[in-house]
């Protein structure tokens, strides 16, 4: 007994120390890996610009320092990009919020009965498979060619991952947990609020992370097609492309990408806040 107790104490003391050691080693690696990848990407960028392209064609892929100097350090170039990005961010976040409300509601409705899922889910799949560029003209005719149509494009692009992931989460609750709620004679509302929705949170946040990037893409696509009102970053991308302003074009692409990464990181952080402390999926 004494030996087993001592072994247990030694194990309890050893594993936390080992876990701390592993985390300490992971810290520098987690920091250096993306920095190293960025350095490699910049090196490849310089190689393409200076080694693969003739000087007369270097405008196709301007070197990074020219992009930084002309389109970032020069406020006259950077200011319109930031203003356009702010409008695109409004469109993307509005579309994501509407898609989240519709997707979660639709998933809850479909999870209530198998016949509801069989009736509604195929149309969600069809919505995902319809080429968005094919229905852009219809969206413009129905909703105009301004802010509203841009938001509609975001909703259509971002909706399906929220429906699919939330529905999967709601339907993946362990049968034993359902039986326990049945024994307690819990109402359907109590079962949904206290069992199914909490269990679906990991899948829901996975859908939000996926749809956050899609909503940014949808906002940029909407900017390119619906140009009434203030220009978004997609409008500027189209202008820079048509004028062969390569430095500005690359800078606008980088800014739009950084915004998409920031939105994704935000929902990753919110996921860890909501479920990371008690659900393993929240740490992935």
55 and 114 co-located in one domain: no
Which residues of the chain register pLDDT less than 70?
Answer: 1-27, 276-284
Mind listing the pLDDT tens digit for each residue in 232-281?
999 999 999 988 888 999 999 999 999 999 999 999 898 888 886 555 54
Residues 24 and 83 in one domain: no
Last residue of a domain, one of 31, 59, 87: 59
27 and 115 assigned to the same domain: no
Contacts of 227 (CB under 8 A, 6+ apart): 145, 235
How far is Cα 284 from Cα 281, in angstroms, rounded to an integer? 5
Q: In angstroms, what CA-CA distances link 110 with 26, 65, 98, 122, 224? A: 42, 52, 18, 11, 35
Structurally, the chain folds into a number of domains equal to 2
Cα–Cα distance for residue pair 80/231, rounded to 1 Å:
9
In this prediction, residue 193 carries a pLDDT of 80
- In this structure, are 273 and 136 located in the same domain? yes
Using one digit for the tens of pLDDT, what is the confidence trace for 191-222?
Answer: 788 888 888 899 999 999 999 999 999 999 99
Assess contact for 132 and 156: CB atoms under 8 A. Answer: yes
Residue-level pLDDT at 35: 86
Burial of 13 (0-12, 13-18, 19+ CB in 10 A): exposed
What is the C-alpha to C-alpha distance for residues 223 and 109, in angstroms, rounded to an integer? 33
Question: Residue 10: its pLDDT value, please?
Answer: 44
Position 187 scores a pLDDT of 77
The token pair at 274 is: 């909501």
Which domain, by its residues, includes 35?
1-59
Q: State residue 27's pLDDT score.
A: 61
Whether residue 157 is found in the same domain as residue 260? yes
Beta carbons of 187 and 105 less than 8 angstroms apart? no
Report the pLDDT value the prediction gives residue 25, as an integer from 0 to 100: 57
């Amino acid at each position: 007994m004494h030996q087993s107790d001592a072994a247990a104490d030694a194990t309890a003391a050893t594993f936390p120390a080992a876990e701390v050691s592993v985390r300490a080693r992971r810290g520098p690696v987690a920091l250096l890996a993306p920095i190293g990848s960025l350095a490699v990407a910049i090196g490849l960028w310089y190689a393409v610009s200076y080694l693969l392209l003739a000087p007369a064609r270097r405008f196709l892929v301007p070197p990074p320092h020219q992009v930084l100097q002309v389109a970032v350090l020069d406020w006259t170039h950077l200011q319109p990009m930031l203003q356009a990005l702010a409008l695109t961010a409004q469109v993307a976040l509005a579309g994501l919020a509407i898609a989240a409300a519709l997707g979660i509601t639709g998933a809850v409705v479909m999870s209530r009965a198998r016949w509801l899922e069989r009736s509604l889910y195929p149309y969600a799949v069809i919505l995902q498979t319809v080429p968005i560029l094919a229905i852009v003209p219809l969206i413009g005719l129905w909703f105009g060619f301004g802010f509203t149509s841009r938001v509609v494009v975001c909703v259509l692009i971002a909706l399906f991952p929220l429906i699919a992931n939330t529905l999967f989460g709601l339907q993946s609750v362990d049968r034993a947990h359902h039986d326990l709620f049945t024994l307690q004679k819990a109402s359907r509302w109590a079962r949904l609020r206290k069992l199914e929705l909490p269990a679906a949170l990991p899948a829901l946040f996975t859908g939000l992370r996926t749809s956050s990037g899609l909503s940014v893409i949808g906002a940029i696509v909407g900017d390119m097609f619906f140009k009434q009102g203030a220009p978004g970053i997609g409008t500027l991308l189209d202008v820079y492309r048509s004028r062969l302003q390569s430095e500005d074009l690359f800078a606008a692409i980088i800014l739009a990408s950084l915004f998409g990464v920031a939105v994704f990181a935000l929902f990753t952080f919110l996921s860890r806040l909501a479920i990371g402390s008690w659900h393993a999926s929240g740490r992935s």
